[in-house]
C-alpha cells in the first residue's frame, strides 16, 4: 500500500534509486518459485495461528550463505507483492552491507519501491533491531533469526525442547535467568531476551536488544520471524501479548543511557556507542538511522521555523 511520502529525499534513498535496475528476467518474481512461496505462506499461516510456536519449513537454498538472513529473505519473498514498499535495515541502519545487499536483491527480483522511511514502508525486513517509530496495522515486520530455539543453550536436544514447548514446561528458561542473577546480580541477557507470547509459548525474539522487547507487545503490525539455517518460521500476530520473562523481585528492565544521541538529542532511542579517539573518547548515536535523521530534520525544522519567525518579526 502506498504511503504519502512528503519528506525530503535522503542520501540513502538517492543511492538506492540510482541503483534501481530493471527486474532480472532469469528469476521468478521475488526469486522463489510460486510453489515454494505457497509452502512458506502455509507455514506462516500456521505460525500466525499459533503465536510463538516454531513451524518447520522447507528452507530453500538462497544466493547467500546461512547466517546472512536467508530465513528473513524467504519470508519477505513469500509475502512481497509488486505494490509493496520495502525497507531493509541491519542493526537499525539502512546503509550497512547486509541491508544494502538484501535490498538490492529484492530490487533485482521484484522492482518494488524501496524506502528508508519507516513510516513509508509496508514491509520491513530487519536484522537485530526494531525501528524506533511505532508501526501500524498496515505494516509487516520480518525478523532475521539465527537461533529460533530459546532453550538451545540449556537443552541442545530438539526432541526434548519440542516436548518442553508442547507441555509448556518452561522451568529451564527460568533456571537460566536464576543463574544470571546468582552469578552477576542481575539478569545478564541483554539481547535475544526470551519472551512469553500470548501467555503460552516462550519465544526467542531474535538478537534484538532487550530495549526493543516492549515494542513487540500489542504491536499493531504483523511480526514474522524466519530462520533459514534452522528451517523455522514463527510469528506474533497484531495486538498479541508479548511479555519478557523475569522474576517478581528481579523484573525485566530495559537499558538506559546517561547521555542523549549526539546527533539528534534523543533520550528515548537505542544508542550505539562510537569510540572517537584513542584516548577513550566516545559518543552515543541512535542505532536507528532513519529515526535519527527524522529527529534531526525535526530539530532543524523547528530551528529554521523559529529563526524565520524571528526574522519576520524584525
Partner 1 sequence: MPVDKQSPILRATGLNKSYGDRAALIDASFELWPGEVLAIVGESGSGKTTLLNALAARDQPDSGSVEFHLKDGALTDIFKMTEAQRRLLARTDWGFVHQNSADGLRMEVSAGANVGERLMALGERHYGKIRATACDWLARVEIDPARIDDLPRHFSGGMRQRLQIARNLVTQPRLVFMDEPTSGLDVSVQAKLLDLLRQLTQHLGLASVIVTHDLAVARLLAHRMIVMRRGRIVETGLTDQVLDDPQHSYTQLLVSSVLQP
Residues that bind partner 1 (CB under 8 A): 154, 163, 167, 169-172, 174-175, 178-179, 181-183, 246-250
* Least distance from partner 1 to the Cβ atom of residue 48, Å: 25
286 is catalytic: yes
* Least distance from partner 1 to the Cβ atom of residue 247, Å: 4
DSSP for 231-259, please give it.
TEEEEE-TT--EEE---SSS-------SS
The smaller minimum CB distance to partner 1, of residues 18 and 183, is found at 183
Strand, coil or helix: 199: coil
Strand, coil or helix: 47: helix
| Cell triple for 260 | 542523549
Question: Is the Cα torsion angle 61, 66, 70, 72 positive or negative in sign?
Answer: positive
52 is catalytic: yes
* Least distance from partner 1 to the Cβ atom of residue 168, Å: 9
Interatomic CA distance for residues 109 and 23, integer angstroms: 5
Neighbours of 229 (CB within 10 A): 16
* Least distance from partner 1 to the Cβ atom of residue 149, Å: 17
Pairing relation of β-strands 123-127 and 113-114? unpaired
Cβ 244 vs Cβ 193: under 8 Å: yes
The smaller minimum CB distance to partner 1, of residues 9 and 175, is found at 175
The smaller minimum CB distance to partner 1, of residues 172 and 283, is found at 172
The smaller minimum CB distance to partner 1, of residues 3 and 174, is found at 174
Interatomic CA distance for residues 231 and 68, integer angstroms: 14
The smaller minimum CB distance to partner 1, of residues 171 and 280, is found at 171
264 is catalytic: yes
Cβ 143 vs Cβ 73: under 8 Å: no
Catalytic one among 12, 52, 72, 226? 52
* Least distance from partner 1 to the Cβ atom of residue 172, Å: 7
At 206, phi and psi to the nearest 5?
80, 165
* Residue numbers annotated as active site: 52, 261, 264, 286, 292
Amino acid at each position: 500500500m502506498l504511503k504519502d511520502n512528503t519528506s525530503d529525499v535522503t542520501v540513502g534513498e538517492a543511492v538506492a534509486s540510482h541503483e534501481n535496475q530493471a527486474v532480472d528476467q532469469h528469476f521468478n518474481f521475488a526469486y522463489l518459485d510460486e510453489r515454494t512461496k505457497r509452502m512458506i505462506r502455509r507455514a506462516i499461516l500456521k505460525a500466525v495461528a499459533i503465536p510463538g510456536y516454531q513451524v518447520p519449513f522447507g528452507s530453500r537454498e538462497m544466493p547467500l550463505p546461512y547466517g546472512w538472513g536467508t530465513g528473513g529473505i524467504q519470508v519477505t519473498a513469500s509475502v512481497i507483492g509488486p505494490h509493496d514498499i520495502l525497507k531493509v535495515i541491519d542493526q537499525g541502519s539502512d546503509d550497512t552491507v547486509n541491508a544494502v545487499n538484501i535490498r538490492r536483491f529484492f530490487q533485482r527480483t521484484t522492482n518494488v519501491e524501496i524506502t528508508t522511511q519507516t513510516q513509508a514502508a509496508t514491509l520491513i525486513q530487519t536484522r537485530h533491531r526494531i525501528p524506533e517509530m511505532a508501526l501500524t496495522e498496515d505494516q509487516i515486520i520480518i525478523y532475521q533469526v539465527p537461533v529460533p530455539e530459546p532453550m538451545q543453550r540449556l537443552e541442545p536436544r530438539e526432541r526434548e525442547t519440542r516436548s518442553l514447548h508442547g507441555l509448556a514446561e518452561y522451568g529451564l528458561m527460568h533456571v537460566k535467568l536464576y543463574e544470571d542473577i546468582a552469578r552477576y546480580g542481575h539478569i545478564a541477557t541483554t539481547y535475544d531476551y526470551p519472551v512469553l507470547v500470548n501467555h503460552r509459548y516462550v519465544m526467542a525474539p531474535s538478537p534484538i536488544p532487550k530495549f526493543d522487547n516492549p515494542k513487540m507487545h500489542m504491536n499493531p503490525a504483523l511480526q514474522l520471524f524466519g530462520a533459514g539455517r534452522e528451517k523455522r518460521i514463527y510469528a506474533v500476530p497484531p495486538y498479541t501479548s508479548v511479555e519478557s520473562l523475569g522474576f517478581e523481585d528481579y523484573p525485566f528492565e530495559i537499558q538506559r543511557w546517561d547521555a542523549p544521541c549526539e546527533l539528534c538529542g534523543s533520550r528515548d532511542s537505542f544508542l550505539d556507542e562510537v569510540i572517537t579517539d584513542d584516548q577513550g573518547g566516545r559518543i552515543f548515536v541512535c542505532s536507528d538511522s532513519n529515526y535519527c535523521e527524522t529527529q534531526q530534520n525535526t530539530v532543524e525544522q523547528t530551528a529554521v521555523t523559529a529563526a524565520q519567525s524571528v526574522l519576520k518579526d524584525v
